Amino acid sequence: MRGITEFVFPKICLSCKSKFNALDNENYICQPCRAKIKRNIPPFCLACGRHLEKQGLNKSICPGCLRKKLHFDRAFSPCLYEGVIRELIHEFKYNGKDYLGKPLSEIMIEFIREYDLPIDYLDLIIPMPLHKTRLREREFNQAEILSRHIASEFKVNLALETLTRYRPTKTQTELPINNRFSNVRDSFSVSKNCNLQDKNVLLVDDVLTTGATSSEAAITLKNTGVNIVFVLTLAN
């Protein structure tokens, strides 16, 4: 029956757009494209989590992070934001393909296990919030979908109403790097009903570029008593 279904309704790879045979209904990318996903490999910058080139190994911090103050304690990303993964994230965020959340979150879950990230020491997982205007435009928050799968897998409490983006901001990708920190300044708030004193938090988003948004969210959380803020994104 599966063979007949694939003949009538063949799978189309979301990356290369070619037909392929999927072993299950949750495969949305062909194996050749899956193999082309560029992984972020160690050694990692101890701030933003990007791969450290040889010339930066003596500092353990990449040159970009040395020039700015980031308020999260450390960031992690399994992939490089280019090629196949960039196309999939674009389909996920902007083209309404929310079903990509599960296979994309599995990449993050695999990374957590492979590098033994301190998931057992976390009290909460918080998805990066969208402003209500942008949420209406997209109809879902991609960070929340990723967070749900990760929280379920590792049995960590998911805090959906804790962090709010109360001030609308320009899209970060439209701004010069130097303006991204000021663009998101004072754009987050924490619910008054939340007791975050001494909590360890994992902040989840899809992409980390300059780290400006994650940093601003982290300082907002820390100002209400959070102890540690780690950031996990699908790509950087």
Burial of 11 (0-12, 13-18, 19+ CB in 10 A): middle
Alpha-carbon torsion (163, 168, 174, 176), positive or negative: negative
Full set of structural domains in the chain with CATH: 1-36 (no CATH), 38-235 (3.40.50.2020)
Whole-structure pTM value:
0.89
Report the alpha-carbon distance of residue 115 to residue 200 in Å, rounded: 19
- Beta carbons within 10 angstroms of residue 107's beta carbon: 19
Mean pLDDT to the nearest integer, 173-195 = 79
Averaged confidence pLDDT in the chain: 88
The residue type at 67: R
Q: What is the pLDDT of residues 51-82, one digit of tens each?
A: 998 765 567 899 889 888 999 999 999 999 99
- The pLDDT score that the predictor gives to residue 216 is 95
pLDDT digits (tens, 9 = 90+) for 187-230: 899 988 889 999 999 999 999 999 999 999 999 999 999 999 99
Looking at residue 56, its pLDDT comes to 52
How long a stretch of residues is the chain? 236
**Residue 235, C-beta contacts closer than 8 angstroms, at least 6 positions apart:** 40, 77, 78, 79, 80, 81, 85, 86, 89, 206, 207, 208
Query: Sorting pLDDT into bands at 50, 70 and 90, what band is 2?
Result: very low
pLDDT value at residue 24 = 57
Cα angle 110-90-88, degrees, rounded to a multiple of 5: 40
Q: 4 pLDDT band (50/70/90 cuts)?
A: very low
* pLDDT exceeds 60 at position 90: yes
- Residue 176's pLDDT is what? 63
pLDDT in tens, 8-38: 456 788 888 888 776 655 678 888 888 899 9
The 10 Å Cβ neighbour count of residue 91 is: 17
What pLDDT does 23 receive?
Answer: 64
Q: Give the pLDDT of residue 45.
A: 95
Q: Quick one: pLDDT at residue 138?
A: 85
- Stronger pLDDT, 126 or 172, i.e. the higher one: 126
d(C-alpha 68, C-alpha 219), whole Å? 14
Strands 124-127 and 200-207: parallel
